[in-house]
């Protein structure tokens, strides 16, 4: 048993989708979250940069006694998970594997779509993992870089978002995918518009829930689960704009959020 927090990070608010899923599944677990709002987006940055950001944030979370680290960012998972796992002594998990496993369970026609940032799609991490698991699977991938600022901006049901989604998702509709992996933790915030464009013939895979289940198994496996009566608390840190983050976090998580703290990124 271990009541220390789970450390979670993302480039901004996207990782809150994972926080929400974990709070729902394991309310007794405490969470320390870091949203790198000063340096978002990660999706168009080099792997060297993402690896150094990820190592820096992981150290910060470890200083806050995190018992495991969840990389709640597909870009950081694609580009830095291996480096984190090699360098850190604690369990470190990312969002790609749970999303891949969930999609493989859902698909009936073996046509799976993946959307993500330029870096995630460029890394081919999803395509490789899916094809490795099942060589009958046909993967169609598309980078949707504008989805991140739209989600950060809260343009959830804006007509401009619908138009952009129609353009981005055209090929995926033509490819007749029956399953679409939301390969960026920001995208579940745009679920309604993505689902409307893809129609209900396509099942969306939000890796946040799959990630939460995976994290729960990992805690059990390492004997790190919090006590049943532990009152799981949530502590949020960001590298810029704490007030704005607090408003979005409150709305999105549907719970009162105590002070979001700003951390000067060059001091950690």
Binding site for ligand DGL (CB under 6 A): 10-12, 14, 40-43, 73-75, 116-117, 120, 148, 184-186
What's the min distance (Å) between Cβ of 12 and ligand DGL? 6
Closest approach, Cβ 28 to ligand DGL, in A, equals 26
C-alpha–C-alpha distance, residues 66 and 77, integer Å: 18
How many angstroms separate the Cα of 229 from the Cα of each of 3, 40, 96, 98, 171? 10, 36, 31, 28, 49
In the chain, alpha helices (H): 16-25, 47-63, 74-87, 96-106, 118-123, 125-133, 147-153, 159-174, 191-198, 207-221, 242-253
184 labelled catalytic: yes
Query: Which ranges of 2-73 does DSSP label H, i.e. alpha helix?
Result: 16-25, 47-63
Q: Catalytic: 73?
A: yes
The three-state secondary structure class of 98 is helix
Catalytic option among 69, 184, 189, 211: 184
The distance of closest approach from Cβ of residue 252 to ligand DGL in the complex, given in angstroms and rounded to an integer, is 14
Cβ of residue 114: shortest distance to ligand DGL, in angstroms? Answer: 12
Longest distance between any two alpha carbons in the chain, whole Å: 50
Distance CA 83, CA 242 (A): 29
Q: Tell me how far, at minimum, the Cβ of 49 lies from ligand DGL, in Å.
A: 12
Give 77 or 140: the residue with its C-beta nearer to ligand DGL: 77
User: Shortest Cβ contact with ligand DGL: which residue?
Assistant: 43
Cβ(252)–Cβ(16) below 8 Å: yes
Active-site residue among 31, 69, 73, 114?
Answer: 73
Cβ proximity of 155 and 50 under 8 Å: no
Pick from 236, 230, 226, 224: nearest CA to 262: 236
Of 62, 51, 23, 17, the closest CA to residue 35 belongs to 17
* Cα angle: 212, vertex 218, 224; to 5 degrees: 110
Task: Write out the catalytic residue numbers.
Answer: 73, 184
């Amino acid at each position: 048993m271990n009541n220390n927090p789970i450390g979670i990070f993302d480039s901004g608010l996207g990782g809150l989708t994972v926080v929400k899923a974990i709070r729902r599944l394991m309310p007794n677990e405490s969470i320390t979250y870091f949203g790198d709002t000063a340096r978002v987006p990660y999706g168009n940055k080099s792997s060297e940069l993402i690896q150094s950001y990820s190592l820096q944030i992981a150290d910060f979370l470890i200083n806050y006694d995190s018992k495991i680290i969840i990389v709640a960012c597909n870009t950081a998972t694609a580009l830095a998970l291996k480096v984190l796992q090699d360098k850190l002594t604690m369990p470190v998990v990312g969002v790609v594997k749970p999303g891949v496993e969930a999609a493989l369970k859902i698909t009936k026609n073996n046509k799976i779509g993946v959307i993500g940032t330029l870096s995630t799609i460029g890394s081919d991490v999803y395509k490789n993992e899916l094809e490795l698991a099942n060589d009958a699977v046909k993967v169609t991938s598309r980078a949707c870089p504008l989805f991140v600022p739209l989600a950060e901006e809260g343009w959830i049901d804006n007509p401009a978002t619908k138009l952009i989604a129609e353009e981005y998702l055209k090929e995926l509709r033509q490819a007749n995918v029956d399953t679409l992996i939301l390969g960026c933790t920001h995208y579940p915030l745009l679920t309604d518009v993505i689902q409307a464009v893809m129609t209900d013939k396509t099942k969306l895979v939000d890796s946040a829930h799959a990630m939460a289940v995976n994290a729960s198994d990992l805690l059990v496996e390492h004997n790190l689960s919090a006590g049943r009566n532990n009152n799981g608390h949530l502590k949020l840190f960001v590298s810029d704009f704490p007030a704005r983050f607090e408003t979005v976090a409150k709305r999105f998580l549907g719970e009162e959020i105590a002070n979001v703290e700003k951390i000067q990124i060059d001091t950690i």
